[in-house]
Each structure stands twice: as structure tokens, then as C-alpha cells.
Chains A and B, each alone.
Chain A
Amino acid sequence: MLRIVVDLNRCESYAQCVFAAPTVFWMKDEESLEYDYAPDDSLLVQVERAAAACPVQAISICWLDEQLEQQGGNHSEQQ
């Protein structure tokens, strides 16, 4: 399962991620970014585009293994 983490301390609200994946990321107002941390796997390409487009490299993509999660969690970082 696809998981996203945005380091909101780094985020400078360039909104490049919103352009690239508008159903996953959105601007709440001028300043603040909100996002779906568990988008559908079919959105992977858009999410990869968003992560690559972020000018401050604030977006990480992970794959979460469902079974492993039930056993206490494990995920691999892609970013």
C-alpha cells in the first residue's frame, strides 16, 4: 500500500505537488498544504511526479506491507 509523508516543516507551499497530483495534495488556503497520506496505488505515477517536483524535497513515498503492519509495522522508504 502506498503511503505518503510530507515534512511540513520543510514545505514552503510551492504547490508543485498539487499541480502534479491534484487529487492527492491540495492547498487549504494560501499557506497550508493538506494531503491524502494513503492514496490509491493507481495514483503512484502522479505521486512520484509530485515528490520529484517538490523544490525542497519534502515528500517521501513508502510502501506499506499490510501483513507486516499487523505484526507491528514495517515499511520501506522510497524517497
Chain B
Amino acid sequence: MIQQSLYEQVLDYANRANPYPLYAQLRQTPVTRQTDGSYVVSTYREIVSLLHDPRIGSDFRKRSVHDRPPAGLSTNKEQAFKSQVPEVGTEASASNEGSETEVVPSFIGLDPPEHDRIRRQATWPFGPPHKPGRVADMESELICLANRQIDTMKGKSSIDIVEDFAYPIPVTMISKLLGVPPEDQARLHALSEAIIEGIDLDPQKSQEERKRRQEQSGQTFKDLEQYMEALIERHRKHPGSDLLSGLITDYGPDGPMAQPDIVSTASLLLIAGHETTVNLITNGMLTLLRHPDVLERLRREPNLVIRLVEELLRYEPPVQILPNRVALADITIAGTIIQKGSPVILLLASGSRDPARFHDPDKFDPDRRDNMHLGFGCGIHYCYGAPLARLETQIALTELVRRLENPRLAYDQPPYRQSATLRGPRHLIIEIDGVKD
């Protein structure tokens, strides 16, 4: 049997619960070339410098290494669908055998200047300068929503933080934000799940199995696209105060967003809303239950949550890896030359645990002052949803800790989702003595 590289071990599901020792080993060599020609970057300084480097692109169409997909990912141009969250929404419509694939990536899969324009258009109805209060104004609604979910735990002695709490909150909010009618939410939940399962390819699975899943995922993405097109039509006719209506009707100096860009942007936001914050909230509760002294402090000092969430983003980030960057030129970094056209994989979660940047990095310390973590990336692709994810998690954890009586882990450790990139528990079963009002 061929020896797995360190990065392949990170992708290996067996190491999902604790990839951090592998990251520490990877950091011994800041930039490592993989056998498939991709480069894995694991140290803070190198990740930040590449994320600010205009010679690093996000548009996978600029890749020249097509012969073999990197472990766990796919670069094959013929595949009907290409999307790896967090580069989610990079979509391609089905192609006939041998014909060119038509690709309409969302803004996270684009480079300047297109990226900058579409991101500005997407931000126009969402945040400053045009709608600066949009996220902050969601606070009271979020508090209500969190408490409604906690109310459902009354009378139970055992709850699943994922199903009962961490999933419903961001999903309800993103659906509301996009103007998805409540009766469609279950269907979108299923679609989003199927897409993520299909694109997060386990290197352990056989080639045929991976291909089958990719195709399925491509079909699912087309279903989502069709759903979005119909939803956009409805909002065009009857615009509301939601973000999708804003994307369609309320545009700024860059003019209206083109229809395919609205579809890919809305799909991106929907999937990101389903698959990222759920893990931040769940990782947060897991980390608190593993640090009962901090949990107790949070109960007494609710404002501690603000820095605590930043520390979570450093210590247990939901997005561990940016797997889909590409070198647009030869780049010399840390004594290695990354060749033009090579895929570049940035291990954000490893950078945020780099002892060269953070004091005592493996310690969860909510009082940490110097905390320029990579939880939301950095540079031009800094997470679009960060303001919402922060507020949701701050409120979710505060309310949970305030109301649950004597919460404790039913067992440590929880089962994890498949993905190494969007890492988090599938279930988090905790026991409680009751729920306060």
C-alpha cells in the first residue's frame, strides 16, 4: 500500500475528529508539493501572503494541471459539475461528451476585475454603503429564533445540538434573508445536503463511486439552479424586502446583476448558509462543554461571547481549508517555486494554530487579545457572510448557555460529517437537567 501524504491523512475521515497534530507536522515544511502537482500551504505567514498576492487566483478555469485530480478534489474539466465549498457555487452546466463545459462561477470562484464587480453588486443590498444596518437589524429576530428553538427542548433530558439548534438557526435566517418560502425549506435542506455529500469526495472511495457521486451532485445542483430561477422569477414579479429581491431590483452604480450571476450568487449564499454556521455553533458548544470553566464564565459575563467567537474561529474554524486556489504565475515562497497553473491548497485552520504567530496556539483562550485568525480568510475573498455568522453564533451561544441547566456531553467525541474542508460534528448529543425560561 502506498504511504499517504500528510495532506491525504488530513482528508482521511479517520482523522476528522482531530486534524491538528497533522497540521503541526505539515507546518514543518510551509509549502509542500503533492504528487498530483498541487501545493499545500500550512503556515500563517505564507497563507496570508498568498491570500494578498494577486498572482493567486480563485478561478479554477485557469488551472493547467488537469491530468489527475488532487486527492479528494476534482479538477476534471469534463465533469458535469464542479463545486467545492467554500468555493461553492462554482457551477457548470452539463456538457456533451468532449464539448467544452460552460461555466458560470459565483464570485468566490472569480478573480478581479469580475470578482470585484459581482461582489460589489452582491453587497449592495446586503451591507455598507447602501444597507449598512441589514445584519445588525436582525439581532432581535435572531434572539427570538434562538429562544424558540430552546423552548422545544423543554421536558427533554437529551438533545442533539446539531438537529435541534445549530442547523435550524442559520437555515431559517438564510431562507428568510433570501425570501425562500417556509414550505420550500425542507426541500432545499435536502438539496444542499446532497450537493455537499457529492462534492466532498472521500479519497478512500473507488473511482467509480466518486464519479457516480459527482454526477449525482451535478444533477442536484441543476435542480437547485432551476429552483433558484423560478424563485427569482417570482421575486421579480413581486419584490419584497429580502436580499434576493434586492439583488434583482435594487442595484447601485455597477448596474443590475446579470441573471446567471443572480442564480450563482443566490445558490452560493443558500449553500453557505446551510453548511458553515451550523458547524461554528456546534463547534462552539462542543468547545464550551470541553472547557466548563469558560462555559460558567460566559453564563456570568455574556459579553465575553464577542471575543469567544473570535477565538472559536481561530481554534475550531468551520472552514478548515481553501482547496481551490490557483497560481497565475510562478511564485517563489518559503524556498519553493509554485508553478504557474498549479492548484494551491491553503490550510487556514493550520495557519490559525501556527505557534510562530499565536502564543500557545493549542490553548482555547477567549481572553486572547492578539487574534488575527484566518477563520474567515483574508484579502479580497474575505467571507461575505462573516457579519451574519458572527452575530448568529454570538446570540446562539449566549442564549444556549443562559438557558440550559447543567449541560454536559453525553459522550466525547461526537461523530463528524464527512467533509475535511467544512468540518464539524454530524450530531452533538448533550444531556441537560432542564431549560430555564
Contacts and interface: CB of A to CB of B under 8 A. Distances in A.
Contacts of B275: none
A55 B136 contact: no
B386 A22 contact: no
A45 B303 contact: yes
A25 to B, nearest CB: 8
A18 B390 contact: no
B132 A16 contact: no
A6 B97 CA distance: 56
Interface string A5-21: 00000000011101111
Contact of A56 (B129, B303, B372, B386): B372
Nearest to A29: B129
B372 A22 contact: no
Contact of A49 (B132, B371, B390): B390
A52 to B, nearest CB: 5
Given A26-B129, A27-B129, A55-B378, A19 B307 contact: no
Interface in A61-77: none
Given A45-B303, A57-B370, A57-B372, A26 B128 contact: yes
A15 B127 contact: yes
B209 to A, nearest CB: 40
Given A48-B303, A55-B376, A55-B378, A19 B136 contact: yes
Contacts of B310: 52-53
B143 to A, nearest CB: 13
A49 B386 CA distance: 12
B125 to A, nearest CB: 13
A46 B136 contact: yes
Nearest to B386: A16
B132 A19 contact: yes
Contact of A18 (B127, B306, B307, B382): B127
Nearest to A28: B129
B240 interface: no
Contacts of A49: 306, 390-391, 394
Nearest to A49: B306
B187 interface: no
A15 B382 CA distance: 11
Given A14-B382, A19-B135, A48-B306, A53 B390 contact: yes
Given A16-B387, A48-B303, A49-B394, A22 B136 contact: yes
Given A16-B387, A53-B386, A57-B370, A22 B133 contact: yes
Interface string B2-37: 000000000000000000000000000000000000
A26 B386 CA distance: 17
Contacts of A57: 370-372
A19 B128 contact: yes
Nearest to B370: A57
B369 interface: yes
A46 B133 CA distance: 12
A52 B306 contact: yes
Nearest to A15: B128
Interface in B100-138: 127-129, 132-136
Interface in B214-250: none
A56 B369 CA distance: 12
Nearest to A54: B372
Contacts of B382: 14, 55
Contacts of A45: 303, 306
A26 B132 contact: yes
Contacts of A30: 129
Interface string B382-419: 10001100110010000000000000000000000000
A15 B386 CA distance: 11
A53 B306 CA distance: 9
24 contacts: A16-B386, A18-B128, A18-B132, A19-B128, A19-B387, A20-B135, A20-B136, A20-B390, A22-B133, A26-B128, A26-B132, A27-B128, A27-B132, A45-B303, A46-B136, A49-B306, A52-B306, A52-B307, A52-B309, A53-B386, A55-B378, A55-B382, A57-B370, A79-B369
The 4 closest A-B pairs by CB, nearest first: A19-B387, A22-B132, A18-B128, A22-B133
Interface of B: 127-129, 132-136, 303, 306-307, 309-310, 369-372, 376, 378, 382, 386-387, 390-391, 394
Given A49-B394, A57-B370, A79-B369, 12 more contacts: A15-B128, A18-B128, A20-B390, A26-B128, A26-B132, A27-B128, A46-B136, A49-B390, A53-B310, A55-B372, A55-B378, A57-B371
